[in-house]
């Protein structure tokens, strides 16, 4: 072999990641373009995206960096964060994530690349994990039923307030009581939400509840300052006035404290973060929400329920989905879609790993150390604000300056209140040595206190910080799932067994339209568990979060360039919350310019159900704009409705490219019409991945958009969350985005309240999007968009002879996804889109999106990350299924007994001695070559949704009911 004479510069590649992220190589790209009869990529894009909105230049971003370079740069940023020992508390605590969970769940693509379990037959693993979470929450709170997580404690409190108002028909009042020792960030979010629900908040001392006529009340247990309230009396007083009682509870404290459910609470909510999920500068974490059986149909968010499959075996699936926004639109119980599935699973597994005794020991240790701290401080004459506590003490009358100085020397964060009080919250990671240091900091080094002597004294006296009558007596975590997996070997195998039930991106493409299941690159994921990102308290002092701020600023600058907006608000925790934050910014802006009466929101009939649900939460009246036969916004109808509501028009919400998967030619005109009538334009960024580098919503008329970082910018879906939904806004809206009461954000008006508990939402997953953009660069991002469009058009082309493609653009092209119409097949054969979806499992694939946005259809989105090999494999499966349907059409197979109606097929089917079907076992389970060498087995047969919704059970079934 001759010497390679390339220069060094040619051997160093800074854009190598682009080839890792994108599936098709140059040859595949050329072949697919040729199949479409398009000369080159530029021609394809010209035929797909209207000329009038094209960006016409490359994005102005720094040159890309290789994976190692980007991580190196990010590491340097991370090191500018300071990891102090933090005792701030206030809803966020240090925790030890069990290593077996870090490695096998948090850092494992088998768990983090899965989608929301809409196809339960290939999602039984994470459904069981989420059911464990629900059971844990029910046990610890003492409530009848819990959901599978919400975004954070503050929004969970807002959902509780909304539920109370819906459910409490006895009280006419529009007032909601909030105890003055509820966490301030929770109150901040409640204020924002209440303002647009027509609810007046009453903030007063908890024990003043009896004096107020309200429809509901929220108490913190223990309170913000650490006080363990006489909750029974408070709840009794609230209910005495017909108000519903909500309790924001600390999950760890409930291992020792009397459970709110036993004291009459109607709703119990809170954060499960301290169950093994790092603080991460504010998130992501799983909030929990539990209520009584009476309110089960009003509970917001996703709920996992137990049903049975077609063989009668126990099978799990999401229950009561009709309450949710995709069905109920503006009448939904909430606009929430994303849960925090990955984090809920981790918290549930933390409980599985420790069990009841383990949890009790952890909680008792935290409490003992707190009692030791209290005892020592009191012996030295320090006054405590309260005479009860679980893990938090508030010191009064101390020299804050001195204490602060000593704390800095020891690299310790305390909670320094404005009024001279000092708060200290201990947690699972606190050691006796740490408490000795705390004595040094709080008292000075001459205190001569002995931890062991104090411990002895407390044990001898039988004293602690829990008031009489508030020690927990009932058992919890008694289900076998919380006792069987204590050894690491058993835990490891349990986690792997559950993982193996689920189909994730580690197995096959997940062609879910509108969900953008692209690569979540390992390099992007690595930084999230770095201590400099993971172990930062959201309310840590600014000089400890310099690296975070710079990373967030850099990401915001990238997103400004990508979207054409002027400013990014990084606070919203999901796409739905971004919508809400954006609409609220519009309403605040309009109120500021004297047009607060504008409250009509135009929404096309093709919109995602979240849009109207969000508009309703922002107190807007939804007016539907019709679509024409091609699926585009009907411009005549839009004109008429904008005209009719001109005086009251607040906004339009459109999705671009449309939910029908088309770049509408008229988008600029749509924006102009709305602007001409004084309205603002909200462009839903769900499909932003089809625009990056090619066109920008800020250029063609958008005033605000949310960006689903978990779609376009590579944050993994986590099996149903986390997500991030920052919003881009034009300059006039920038002062009206979300501020934060604890950690104010510059440039935002002070009175603009928060939408999330933390100032930057789920900050610890932002490095994923940062790394993606950094490693792709301008050209790489544009190529990714182009390949996403090419892949979708290639699929539309390959399938067009077998399934009609419902909507296309002006030149016959689809955008980044395509809808195939299966309704004619239903008419000719009786086979439904659901049968096709389930049959795809037998071929080893996750189904496309079913019946959205058009009932009876399938929407396919391949993304740029899927290779031609995988796309061909998927198309071949779809075509083979079409031929199977033909055999039903031709009468060869009956509608009752064919491989589609009986899909998916399981190992249990193959084990049957008798095979009564008109097709072979091989065709049932191994219909393609790929399945013969590597098969993803559905864990259960087709799940019976009707049975589950009629017989609602949302707790862990007895272990005998699980099939082996």
Partner 1 sequence: MSNIPANLRYTESHEWVLDNGDGTLTIGITDHAQEALGDVVFVELPEVGRELDKGEEFGVIESVKAASDLYAPLDGEIVAINEALEDAPETVNSSPYDDGWLLTIKTSDSDALDDLLDADAYAAIVDAEA
Q: How far is the CB of 169 from partner 1 (least distance, A)?
A: 8
CA gap 548, 533 in Å, rounded? 7
At 381, is the secondary structure helix, strand, or coil? Answer: coil
Q: How far is the CB of 480 from partner 1 (least distance, A)?
A: 29
Q: State the DSSP H helix or E strand holding residue 136, giving kind and residue range, or none if neither.
A: helix 124-141
The CA-CA-CA angle for residues 267, 277, 518, to 5°, reads 105
> In this structure, what is the dihedral angle of CA atoms 677, 678, 679, 683, given to the nearest 10 degrees?
90
CA gap 363, 256 in Å, rounded? 7
- Binding to partner 1 (CB under 8 A) within 517-556 occurs at none
Nearest residue (CB) to partner 1, 702 versus 853: 853
Measured in degrees and rounded to the nearest 5, phi and psi for residue 418 equal: -60, -30
Q: How far is the CB of 899 from partner 1 (least distance, A)?
A: 23
Residue 414 CB contacts under 8 Å (≥ 6 apart), including other chains: 87, 88, 403, 404, 407, 422, 423, 424, 441
Q: In what order do the strands lie in the sheet with 216-221?
A: 145-146, 287-291, 267-271, 244-249, 216-221, 175-179, 200-204
Q: How far is the CB of 729 from partner 1 (least distance, A)?
A: 34
Nearest residue (CB) to partner 1, 332 versus 552: 332
Q: How far is the CB of 939 from partner 1 (least distance, A)?
A: 21
Nearest residue (CB) to partner 1, 297 versus 410: 297
Nearest residue (CB) to partner 1, 450 versus 945: 945
Q: How far is the CB of 198 from partner 1 (least distance, A)?
A: 18
Nearest residue (CB) to partner 1, 88 versus 336: 336
Nearest residue (CB) to partner 1, 872 versus 949: 949
Nearest residue (CB) to partner 1, 323 versus 677: 323
Cα distances (angstroms) measured from residue 307 to each of 128, 145, 944, 960: 12, 16, 6, 14
Q: How far is the CB of 320 from partner 1 (least distance, A)?
A: 7
Nearest residue (CB) to partner 1, 304 versus 758: 304
Residue choice 54, 626, 949, 955 for contact with partner 1 (CB under 8 A): 949
Binding segment for partner 1 among 25-33, 77-85, 430-438, 941-949 (CB under 8 A)?
Answer: 941-949
Site for partner 1 contains 242 (CB under 8 A): no
Q: How far is the CB of 611 from partner 1 (least distance, A)?
A: 18
Q: How far is the CB of 852 from partner 1 (least distance, A)?
A: 12
At 83, is the secondary structure helix, strand, or coil? Answer: coil
Site for partner 1 contains 749 (CB under 8 A): no
- Binding to partner 1 (CB under 8 A) within 319-338 occurs at 320-323, 327-328, 331
Nearest residue (CB) to partner 1, 167 versus 586: 167
- Binding to partner 1 (CB under 8 A) within 291-320 occurs at 297, 320
**Per-residue interface string for the shown chain with partner 1, residues 772-811, x marking contact by CB under 8 A:** ----------------------------------------
Binding segment for partner 1 among 150-158, 190-198, 242-250, 945-953 (CB under 8 A)?
Answer: 945-953
Nearest residue (CB) to partner 1, 230 versus 944: 944
Site for partner 1 contains 478 (CB under 8 A): no
Binding segment for partner 1 among 598-606, 617-625, 899-907, 943-951 (CB under 8 A)?
Answer: 943-951
The CA-CA-CA angle for residues 35, 41, 43, to 5°, reads 90
Taking phi first (over 0 means left), then psi (-120 to 50 degrees means alpha), and beta for anything else, what does residue 165 get? alpha
Binding segment for partner 1 among 41-49, 190-198, 479-487, 942-950 (CB under 8 A)?
Answer: 942-950
- What is the DSSP secondary-structure string of 604-661? ETTS-THHHHHHHHTT-EEEEEPB-TTSSB-HHHHHHHHHHTGGGEEEEEEESS-TTS
Helix runs in 196-259, H state only: 231-240
Q: How far is the CB of 331 from partner 1 (least distance, A)?
A: 7
Taking phi first (over 0 means left), then psi (-120 to 50 degrees means alpha), and beta for anything else, what does residue 477 get? left
Q: State the DSSP H helix or E strand holding residue 847, giving kind and residue range, or none if neither.
A: none
Nearest residue (CB) to partner 1, 166 versus 410: 166
Per-residue burial over 708-742, b if 16 or more Cβ lie within 10 Å, else e, is bbbbbbbbbbbbbbbbbbbbbbbeebbbbbbbbbb
Tokens of 355: 């069990």
Site for partner 1 contains 950 (CB under 8 A): yes
Site for partner 1 contains 290 (CB under 8 A): no
At 892, is the secondary structure helix, strand, or coil? Answer: coil
Q: How far is the CB of 832 from partner 1 (least distance, A)?
A: 11
Q: How far is the CB of 328 from partner 1 (least distance, A)?
A: 6
Q: How far is the CB of 232 from partner 1 (least distance, A)?
A: 28
Task: Kindly report whether the peptide bond that precedes residue 222 is cis, defined as omega within 30 degrees of 0.
Answer: yes
178 contacts 188 by C-beta, under 8 angstroms: no
Site for partner 1 contains 166 (CB under 8 A): no
At 392, is the secondary structure helix, strand, or coil? Answer: strand
Tokens of 160: 């509780």
Q: How far is the CB of 853 from partner 1 (least distance, A)?
A: 15
The CA-CA-CA angle for residues 431, 433, 434, to 5°, reads 65
Site for partner 1 contains 823 (CB under 8 A): no
Nearest residue (CB) to partner 1, 511 versus 609: 609
Q: How far is the CB of 615 from partner 1 (least distance, A)?
A: 18
Residue 312 CB contacts under 8 Å (≥ 6 apart), including other chains: none
Q: State the DSSP H helix or E strand holding residue 575, giving kind and residue range, or none if neither.
A: helix 575-592
Q: How far is the CB of 942 from partner 1 (least distance, A)?
A: 13
Binding-residue total with partner 1 (CB under 8 A): 13
**Per-residue interface string for the shown chain with partner 1, residues 111-150, x marking contact by CB under 8 A:** ----------------------------------------
**Per-residue interface string for the shown chain with partner 1, residues 218-237, x marking contact by CB under 8 A:** --------------------
- Picking from 161, 136, 169, 301, the residue whose alpha carbon sits closest to that of residue 219 is 161
- Picking from 395, 390, 366, the residue whose alpha carbon sits closest to that of residue 380 is 395
Q: How far is the CB of 565 from partner 1 (least distance, A)?
A: 36
Nearest residue (CB) to partner 1, 29 versus 857: 857
Measured in degrees and rounded to the nearest 5, phi and psi for residue 65 equal: -120, 150
Site for partner 1 contains 205 (CB under 8 A): no
Nearest residue (CB) to partner 1, 141 versus 333: 333
Residue choice 854, 945, 955, 962 for contact with partner 1 (CB under 8 A): 945
Beta-ladder partners of 303: 319
Residue choice 896, 946, 960, 964 for contact with partner 1 (CB under 8 A): 946
CA gap 964, 959 in Å, rounded? 10
Q: How far is the CB of 855 from partner 1 (least distance, A)?
A: 9
Nearest residue (CB) to partner 1, 57 versus 169: 169
Q: At what angle do helices 67-79 and 766-799 cross, to 10 degrees?
A: 150
Nearest residue (CB) to partner 1, 326 versus 732: 326
Per-residue burial over 520-544, b if 16 or more Cβ lie within 10 Å, else e, is bbebbbbbbbbebbbbbbbbbeeeb
Site for partner 1 contains 172 (CB under 8 A): no
Note the residues at the interface with partner 1 (CB under 8 A).
169, 297, 320-323, 327-328, 331, 945-946, 949-950
């Amino acid at each position: 072999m001759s010497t390679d004479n390339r220069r060094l510069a040619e051997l160093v590649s800074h854009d190598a990641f682009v080839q890792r992220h994108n599936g098709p190589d140059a040859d595949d790209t050329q072949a697919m373009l040729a199949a479409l009869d398009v000369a080159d990529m530029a021609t394809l894009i010209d035929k797909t995206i209207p000329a009038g909105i094209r960006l016409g230049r490359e994005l102005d971003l720094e040159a890309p960096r290789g994976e190692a370079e980007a991580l190196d740069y990010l590491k340097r940023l991370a090191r500018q964060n300071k990891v102090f020992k933090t005792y701030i508390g206030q809803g966020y605590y240090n925790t030890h994530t069990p290593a077996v969970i870090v490695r096998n769940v948090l850092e494992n693509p088998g768990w983090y690349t899965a989608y929301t379990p809409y196809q339960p037959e290939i999602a039984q693993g994470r459904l069981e994990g989420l059911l464990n979470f629900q059971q844990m929450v029910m046990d610890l709170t003492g409530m009848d039923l819990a959901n599978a997580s919400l975004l954070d404690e503050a929004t969970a409190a807002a959902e509780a307030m909304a539920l109370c108002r819906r459910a409490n028909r006895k009280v006419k009042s529009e007032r909601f009581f909030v105890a003055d020792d509820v966490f301030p960030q929770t109150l901040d979010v409640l204020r924002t939400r209440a303002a647009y629900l027509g609810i007046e908040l009453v903030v007063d001392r908890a024990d003043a509840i009896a004096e107020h006529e309200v429809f509901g009340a929220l108490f913190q247990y223990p309170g913000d300052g650490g006080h363990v309230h006489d909750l029974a009396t408070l709840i009794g007083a609230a209910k005495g006035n017909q108000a519903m009682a909500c309790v924001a509870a600390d999950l760890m404290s409930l291992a020792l404290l009397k459970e709110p459910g036993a004291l009459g609470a109607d709703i119990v909510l809170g954060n499960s973060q301290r169950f093994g999920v790092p603080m991460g500068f504010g998130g992501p974490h799983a909030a929990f929400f539990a209520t009584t059986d009476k309110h089960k149909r009003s509970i917001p968010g996703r709920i996992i329920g137990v049903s049975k499959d077609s063989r009668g075996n126990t099978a799990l699936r999401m229950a009561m989905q009709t309450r949710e926004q995709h069905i109920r639109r503006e009448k939904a119980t909430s606009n929430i879609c994303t849960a925090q599935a990955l984090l809920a699973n981790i918290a549930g597994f933390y409980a599985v790993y420790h069990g009841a005794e383990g949890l009790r020991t952890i909680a008792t240790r935290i409490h003992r150390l707190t009692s030791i701290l209290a005892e020592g401080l009191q012996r030295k004459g320090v006054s405590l604000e309260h005479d009860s506590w679980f893990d938090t003490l508030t010191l009064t009358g101390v020299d804050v300056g001195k204490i602060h100085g000593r704390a800095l020397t020891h690299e310790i964060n305390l909670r320094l209140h404005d009024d001279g009080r000092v708060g200290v919250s201990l947690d699972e990671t606190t050691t006796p040595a740490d408490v000795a240091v705390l004595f040094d900091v709080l008292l000075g080094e001459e205190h001569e206190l002995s931890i062991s002597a104090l411990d002895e004294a407390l044990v001898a006296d039988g004293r602690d910080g829990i008031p009489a009558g508030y020690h927990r007596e009932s058992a919890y975590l008694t289900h076998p799932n919380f006792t069987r997996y204590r050894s690491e070997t058993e835990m490891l195998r349990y986690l792997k067994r559950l993982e193996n039930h689920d189909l994730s991106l580690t197995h096959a493409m997940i062609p879910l339209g509108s969900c953008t299941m692209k690569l979540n690159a390992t390099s992007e994921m690595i930084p999230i568990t770095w201590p400099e990102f993971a172990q930062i308290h959201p309310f840590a002092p600014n000089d400890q979060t310099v690296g975070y701020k710079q990373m967030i600023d850099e990401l915001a600058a990238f997103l400004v360039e990508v979207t054409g907006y002027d400013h990014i608000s990084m606070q919203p925790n999901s796409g739905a919350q971004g919508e809400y934050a954006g609409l609220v910014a519009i309403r605040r802006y309009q109120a500021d310019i004297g047009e607060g009466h504008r409250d009509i929101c135009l929404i096309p009939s093709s919109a995602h159900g979240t849009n109207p649900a969000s508009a309703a939460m922002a107190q807007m009246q939804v007016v539907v704009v019709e679509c024409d036969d091609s699926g585009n916004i009907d411009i005549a109808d839009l004109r008429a409705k904008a005209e009719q509501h001109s005086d009251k028009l607040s906004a339009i919400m459109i999705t671009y490219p449309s939910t029908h998967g088309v770049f509408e030619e008229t988008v600029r005109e749509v924006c102009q019409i709305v602007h001409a009538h004084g309205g603002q334009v909200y462009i839903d960024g769900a499909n932003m991945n089809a625009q990056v580098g090619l066109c920008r919503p800020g250029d063609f008329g958008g005033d605000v958009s949310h960006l689903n970082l978990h779609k376009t910018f590579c944050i993994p879906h986590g099996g149903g969350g986390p997500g991030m939904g920052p919003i881009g806004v034009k300059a006039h809206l920038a002062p009206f985005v979300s501020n934060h009461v604890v950690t104010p954000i510059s440039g935002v008006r002070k009175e603009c309240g928060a939408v999330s508990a933390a100032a930057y939402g789920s900050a610890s997953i932002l490095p994923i999007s940062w790394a993606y953009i950094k490693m792709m660069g301008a050209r790489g991002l544009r190529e990714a968009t182009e390949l996403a469009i090419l892949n979708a058009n290639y699929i539309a082309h390959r399938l067009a002879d077998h399934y009609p493609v419902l909507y296309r653009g002006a030149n016959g092209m689809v955008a980044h996804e395509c809808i195939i119409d299966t309704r004619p097949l239903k008419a000719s054969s009786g086979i439904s889109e659901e049968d096709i979806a389930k049959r795809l499992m037998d071929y080893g694939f996750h189904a496309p999106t079913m019946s959205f946005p058009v009932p009876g259809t399938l929407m396919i989105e391949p993304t740029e990350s899927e290779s031609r090999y995988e796309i061909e494999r998927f198309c071949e499966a779809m075509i083979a299924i079409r031929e199977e349907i033909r055999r039903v059409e031709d009468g060869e197979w009956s509608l009752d007994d064919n491989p589609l109606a009986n899909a998916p097929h399981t190992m249990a089917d193959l084990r049957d001695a008798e095979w009564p079907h008109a097709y072979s076992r091989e065709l049932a389970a191994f219909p393609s070559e790929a399945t013969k060498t590597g098969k993803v087995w559905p864990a259960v047969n087709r799940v019976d949704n009707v049975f589950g919704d009629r017989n609602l059970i949302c707790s862990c079934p007895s272990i005998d009911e699980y099939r082996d």
